[in-house]
Every structure is written in structure tokens, then in C-alpha cells.
Amino acid sequence: MTSHDRGSVPTDTQPEEPRSSSSKPAKAHHLPLWQETILLLAVALILAIAIKALFLQAFYIPSESMEPGLVKDDRILVQKVSYWGGGEPQRGDVVVFKDPGGWLPSQDAAGPTATLPKLMTKIGLYPAGGHLVKRVIGVGGDTIECCDDQGRILVNGKPLDEDLYVKVDQGTQCDGPMVNQCGTDWKAGPVPDGHVFVMGDNRGHSADSSQKMCKPKVETDCVPGPEFVPVDLVVGKVFVLLWPRQRFEFVSRPGTFEDVPAAS
């Protein structure tokens, strides 16, 4: 190789072909901002409706019947997972259920009337009207009695120690006063299958199952039955007191119900 060949370009080297325009990355196609906004709102709406239908829903406490734990106008969250797949309310659960008919005053049964709250109610972001909040005392097959020597409710013969959640009321001498103001004992049940017997924690001020019972020696033509709530009307179980913020807490099933024997 001669000196003038060093560093020279070989004669058989071909210049690079220019890249075809097809190898350039394609530009991403973006929707206009207004279309993206509508799409996101639609997705959010669908998710909210699905969550309401399957998982969670917001409600408010419509009366003083669940004091002292839940106060009128408190905001609560109800979960529906516990009752999936044929699951039913258990003794001690605080549940929300649709008015079986005539349990609520007309103003509480109506729900929100303004357009925005009504829309928010549809997707579970605003408390719905026409519902009640009570504690399940008896389930299918159970017999509920009032009361033992200490004024306690008995379920299948087992007295309930309810001091932790029942409101202390000097004018109420037992835990089942709505039938006859504790004047005489009463019995309810057996609870029909697919139904529950419910009571408020503010026993002297609660339009609950005991208040719907036939009153001994008063309603001679009363037909038993309206005191039992169909399980199909139960929306779900209260698990969070959400608002007011300073009283936020989880709502759980009291331990006293664990010792209740099965219905015979």
C-alpha cells in the first residue's frame, strides 16, 4: 500500500441511503380538550354509580333514635360487601334500610328536592332520604323478649348487656319501652326467615320494630308482622361515622351479641 492510500476512502463504499419518510415516528393523536373532559367525566360518573351499587353509599342520620353513638344529621358510610352472595345482616349490625312503609314522617321520606343534590344522590355522593338507621336485634328464627330483672332485652333467652351503646335515659326503666313503657313484659317472634327485628339505641325515642308491635291489651284487632323488616330492604351495614370530622370513627358489632345462642 502506498503512502497516498492511507486514510483514503475505499472506492466501493456507497453513500448511505436517505431514511424513508415511513420510518419517522407517527405523531400521537390527541382529542380536543373539551372531548377529553367529557370522557373523563363520563368515566368518573360510571365509576361512582358502580361504587354506589356494589360497594359504598353515603347516608345521614334522620332522627335522634341512634343516640348517643349516631346523632341526627351525622354523615355515615354504608358498605354492601358483607351482604354479597346471599349474606344477611347479623345481630348487632347497624344497618340502613328502605322505609317498609309508614315508618318515617313524610318530610324525611321525601329526600332531597334540589336538582344537584338529587343528581348526587343518584351516584351515591349525597345522602338519600326514605331510609332508616337501626341496630339489628334479632334475625330469622330469633325470639326477642323484654325484659329481665335488670331491664335487659333477651334474645333466645340470653340477656344483652347494652350499656356501651344504649342511651341512658332516666325516664326509661328498661331497654324495650316502646311497647308499653316497661309496664309489662312483651315478646316478639320467632322472626320470620328473611326478616330482621331492629331497634334504635335511644330506646325511649325510636320508631323501630318494638314501636310497630301490637300493644298488649290495647290493639285487640292488631295483626303481628309489620314489626319485622324484610332483608331485601336492607341497603348495607354502617361501618364509618364520617362527619362531623372530630367524631370520626369506625362502627363495629358489639361483643354482647356473640354469646346469643342460635334459635331453637
As annotated, the active-site residues are 65, 134
* Contact present, 80 and 121 (Cβ < 8 Å): no
C-alpha span between 5 and 121 (Å, rounded): 87
Scanning the chain, the segments in alpha helix (DSSP H) are: 33-54, 106-110, 115-122, 209-212
Q: Where are the beta strands (DSSP E) in the chain?
A: 56-60, 75-79, 94-98, 131-138, 144-146, 153-155, 158-159, 186-188, 195-199, 229-230, 234-243, 249-250
Place of cell 301490637: 214
Non-local CB neighbours of 96 within 8 Å, separated by 6+ positions: 57, 59, 76, 78, 131, 132, 133, 234, 235, 236, 238
**How far apart are the C-alpha atoms of 116 and 258, rounded to whole Å?**
43
Quote the CA–CA distance of 133 and 235 in Å, as a whole number. Answer: 10
